[in-house]
Structure 1
Amino acid sequence: MLVDSPAHDQPAPSLYDIAVEQFNTAADVIGLDDDMRRILSVCKRELAVNFPVEMDDGTVQVFTGYRVQHSIAPGPSKGGIRYHPDVTLDEVKALAMWMTWKCAVVGLPYGGAKGGVRVNPKVLSQNELQNLTRRYTTEISMLLGPHSDIPAPDVNTNPQVMAWILDTYSMHHGGVAVPAVVTGKPLLLGGSAGRLEATGRGCVFAIEQACRTYDIDLPSQRVVVQGFGNVGSTVAQILHSIGCRVIGVSDSHGGIYNPNGLDIPSVLAYKRQMQTIVDFPEAENVTNEELLELDCDILVPAALEEQITEENAPRIKARLIAEAANGPTTPDADRILYDRGIIVLPDIYANAGGVTVSYFEWVQALQSFSWTEDEVNSRLQRIMIESFMAIHEAAEQYHVPLRTAALVRAIQRVAEFTRVRGIYP
């Protein structure tokens, strides 16, 4: 006799399923019509490439990469490229959709894109990494361009990788440098002052404005940061410098905890020497799972997706969560956190500092005119403050969590672009 499979045997929703669920939740709030839902709930272009790379030992390996554009209605598509062994098309599609909303929520003239290669870059030599980057860039080059699709760094990519992409694209277009084709590149090649710290700094600006709005005394707060890469370490450094007690941080190897507070400059120095923060002498080791549940006031997930789930959300003790990573909270966890009164600054707002300063970098490259770091940070702060106030106003108006409010504002903006432009032909 056939019986229905139990619910727990059903496959877990993919990251893209989660992105679409979030979209539909916000679309319901504003009564978005079915035609616009059909347009915005799918990605415009999805490119998958399988390409050979010659390794240092003379062998050839074949890698799989993706570049996805969710929307180009507001302008060129914008989004990072990640190198990670777990990259999938569904993940890249979800991240591309989130990039559309992220750009829209802070008012940038971009649609969303994302790219990725399924590879562990930590086992590649610098020469192999360059070969892979240049070949991947060539494979997706039909989409790239300063007025069509503009990559940036993401997980396991950096300014050097952007320099190789810039050079490869430029060599396909006569050899003269085209600095506006990527952002997050070295200053020498037209990068922007403040870009490296922009995502973390923007997250801190978001936290500061949320604390002002909700009457939270920020310098007295205990902070936990999951992820100690570029973004997480920047958040930890800045919050430590303004007086917050950063009691826990983690990297891919594990976490450390000191209830009296960690000396973040010393932790950074230790990581530079040891390549991990684990076993830092002035703290006890904890797992990444334990770190999320530490007794703290502010939690900053700055690692990978789906870290706060239905399972651990009831045990989260923070009053405020600022999502410096993309997609760290599942929809089921979102509902639990909201019911518990925990404030969640959603990823499409809280980590939008990176793409905002990428926009500044793009503008500077198009104009061949650079701004000072003070100018960059001041403009970033203004945008993060104004965006938070608009999101908070929407949350009050519709009686919804901040994530839904941010999505409402973003979807309304992109839907209006799409509606006014119309359908060709």
Structure 2
Amino acid sequence: MGAENSENDTFFESVQRNFDKAAKLTRFDHGILEQIKACNSILRVRFPVKIGNDIEVIEAYRVQHSHHKLPCKGGIRFSLEVNQEEVMALASLMTYKCAIVNVPFGGAKGGIKINSRKYTDFELENITRRYTSELVKKNFIGPGIDVPAPDYGTSAREMSWIMDTYTSLNPNDIDAEACVTGKPVSQGGVRGRAEATGLGVFFGVREACSFQEDMEKIGLTAGIAGKRIIVQGLGNVGYHAAKYFQAAGAKLVGLIEYDGAIYDENGLDVDLVQAHRKTTGSILNFPGAINISDPAEGLEQPCDILIPAALESVIHKDNADRIQAKIVGEAANGPLTADADEILNKKGVLVIPDIYLNAGGVTVSYFEWLKNLSHVRYGRLEKRFSENMYKELIDIIESTTGKRVSDLERKTILRGPDEIDLVHSGLEDTMIGSYREIRDIYTGREDVENLRTAAFLCAIEKIGVAYEELGIFP
């Protein structure tokens, strides 16, 4: 980040600044860059819904940032913080994320300006269905047009309401299931979607830690095992990321929630902490851990890897100097302000940017969309075939060597891939390949100062080429 960046930048302005910084290093014409940067379509609607005995007017948005690939893709959030600028920022990030992980979608985002906790399930269903009908009327949803997904404040339940509403309004659309992703498995969802973003964070950080020369520069050894990790946010993303890091041999020394943080240099078990939280209503007072009343102080504790997986702008100019982590993995959208990014870069901290690291969700959403269009479950066509082939291979080995493979080895080898195996494998391959593309740009060009600029460059290059090949620019 340059000196022109301001701590007072909005989230949208911060995204635009990051884009502009990378755009200066590209070969593309100013017009193409402006087209890539611009939000193509913005829908702002107000609609009435009966809440109890009253009529309430609900404000909602859907932004389609880019049409260089169709359909557009992006989540829908329920929050009182929803406004047009925030939705535009998140939609543009979706465009860049999809390009980085080679998912052929344009970016989009949606939001309904409500506090979902103040409504009953029945009222939330009415609001969601009414919003969906507005999207259908304006042609802002469809398997080949725009495909929403869950985001903050929404889940598989809301996605099933959206799909049902869309299907009822388009009864002849054979691909109607593909109008939205993040659905329950029984409604056409894909196995592995719930943990996708957190697992993608793990795969991305693990890949970054696999390059010995990069780790030596920041004073760490290669690999995940033994590294001390702090995770901020025990929502869906943070919990799954923590769980996978723990399973890989990392030491989870700190966990941070809105009401405080806990720290234990000997390591924490995320499932035990979750159980304690369920019983007491808080992660605080976990046996053996130190309580930290101010959640912000939890970010400043000693660790090797810090994973902010909750809110925007939690690391800023006033606390960035006190961050002790050698690696910051942005599991949330925009957890670092522009000034914090600059401070950490000067300190030599390796910041793995959000537009790459939290793209696991959209990657697996892409797999779900493909599953819905093909009308067949992953693994159905190959699981039994693979198992039969492996059995023949074992029979040949046994007859050739005269030795019998043990029952445990036989069971392990004979297992054909289920849907979740294929989804996890596809996600792993995507995160590994995409990180290497970004790293090649970062290490191969002297004018690229960090991974964030490299990631934006990677995205701009792919989108720019797509626009050139569309032939719309003479």
Under TM normalisation by the shorter chain, which class is it?
over 0.9
Q: 1:27 to 1:190 in 2, by over 3 A?
A: same
In structure 1, C-alpha distance between the alignment counterparts of 2:146 and 2:288, rounded to whole Å: 46
**Is the 8 Å Cα contact of residues 74 and 110 (structure 2) preserved in structure 1?**
yes
Is residue 392 of structure 1 aligned with residue 387 of structure 2? no
Gaps of at least 5 residues in structure 1 are 1-9
Partner of 2:346: 339
Q: Which moved more, 1:137-146 or 1:161-170?
A: 137-146
Is residue 103 of structure 1 aligned with residue 111 of structure 2? no
Deviation at 1:24, TM superposition (A): 0.4
Is residue 204 of structure 1 aligned with residue 202 of structure 2? yes
Is residue 291 of structure 1 aligned with residue 287 of structure 2? no
Amino acid at match of 1:50: R
In structure 2, C-alpha distance between the alignment counterparts of 1:124 and 1:110, rounded to whole Å: 33
**Is the 8 Å Cα contact of residues 7 and 337 (structure 2) preserved in structure 1?**
no
Q: Deviations over 1:304-330 (max 9, x none)?
A: 211211221111110111111111112
Partner of 1:409: 458
Give the secondary-structure state (helix, strand or coil) at the position aligned to 2:438.
helix
Deviation at 1:252, TM superposition (A): 3.1
**Is the 8 Å Cα contact of residues 70 and 146 (structure 2) preserved in structure 1?**
no
Give the secondary-structure state (helix, strand or coil) at the position aligned to 1:51.
strand
Is residue 143 of structure 1 aligned with residue 150 of structure 2? no
Q: 1:356 to 1:171 in 2, by over 3 A?
A: same
Q: 1:187 to 1:25 in 2, by over 3 A?
A: same
Partner of 1:158: 155
Over 6 Å off, 4+ runs: none
Question: What pairs with 1:152-301 in structure 2 (closer than 5 Å)?
Answer: 152-174=149-171, 178-213=176-211, 214=215, 215-286=221-292, 287-301=294-308
Which structure would you say has the larger Rg?
A: 2
Aligned residue among 19, 23, 29 for 1:33:
29
Give the secondary-structure state (helix, strand or coil) at the position aligned to 1:29.
coil
Q: Which moved more, 1:58-67 or 1:193-202?
A: 58-67
Partner of 2:110: 115
Q: Which moved more, 1:279-288 or 1:289-298?
A: 279-288
Aligned residue among 312, 315, 318 for 1:311:
318
Gaps of at least 5 residues in structure 2 are 1-5, 216-220, 379-418
Partner of 1:44: 40
In structure 1, C-alpha distance between the alignment counterparts of 2:279 and 2:183, rounded to whole Å: 25
**Is the 8 Å Cα contact of residues 355 and 455 (structure 2) preserved in structure 1?**
yes
Deviation at 1:423, TM superposition (A): 3.0
Give the secondary-structure state (helix, strand or coil) at the position aligned to 1:145.
coil
**Is the 8 Å Cα contact of residues 229 and 251 (structure 1) preserved in structure 2?**
no
Identity %, equivalent residues: 42
Give the secondary-structure state (helix, strand or coil) at the position aligned to 1:294.
coil
Deviation at 1:275, TM superposition (A): 4.7
Q: Deviations over 1:228-254 (max 9, x none)?
A: 100000001111122211121223333
Q: 1:99 to 1:269 in 2, by over 3 A?
A: same
**Is the 8 Å Cα contact of residues 204 and 239 (structure 1) preserved in structure 2?**
yes
Deviation at 1:74, TM superposition (A): 2.2
Partner of 1:61: 56
Aligned-pair Cα RMSD in Å: 1.9
Is residue 83 of structure 1 aligned with residue 78 of structure 2? yes
Deviation at 1:12, TM superposition (A): 2.0
In structure 2, C-alpha distance between the alignment counterparts of 1:54 and 1:248, rounded to whole Å: 45
**Is the 8 Å Cα contact of residues 79 and 150 (structure 1) preserved in structure 2?**
yes
Is residue 322 of structure 1 aligned with residue 329 of structure 2? yes
In structure 1, C-alpha distance between the alignment counterparts of 2:21 and 2:473, rounded to whole Å: 28
Q: TM-score, normalization: structure 2?
A: 0.84
Q: Deviations over 1:72-122 (max 9, x none)?
A: 102211001111111111111011001000000011111100111111112
Amino acid at match of 2:239: S
In structure 2, C-alpha distance between the alignment counterparts of 1:263 and 1:326, rounded to whole Å: 26
Deviation at 1:417, TM superposition (A): 0.9
Question: What pairs with 1:364-379 in structure 2 (closer than 5 Å)?
Answer: 364-371=371-378, 372-379=419-426
**Is the 8 Å Cα contact of residues 325 and 347 (structure 1) preserved in structure 2?**
yes
Amino acid at match of 1:250: I
**Is the 8 Å Cα contact of residues 73 and 414 (structure 1) preserved in structure 2?**
yes
Aligned residue among 354, 359, 374 for 2:361:
354
Q: 1:62 to 1:270 in 2, by over 3 A?
A: farther
**Is the 8 Å Cα contact of residues 29 and 398 (structure 1) preserved in structure 2?**
no
**Is the 8 Å Cα contact of residues 467 and 473 (structure 2) preserved in structure 1?**
no
Q: TM-score, normalization: structure 1?
A: 0.94
In structure 1, C-alpha distance between the alignment counterparts of 2:305 and 2:258, rounded to whole Å: 20
Q: Deviations over 1:333-391 (max 9, x none)?
A: 11111111111111111111110010011001100111210111111111111111111
Partner of 2:416: none
Amino acid at match of 2:149: A
Partner of 2:388: none
Q: Deviations over 1:193-252 (max 9, x none)?
A: 101100000110011111101343311111111111000000011111222111212233
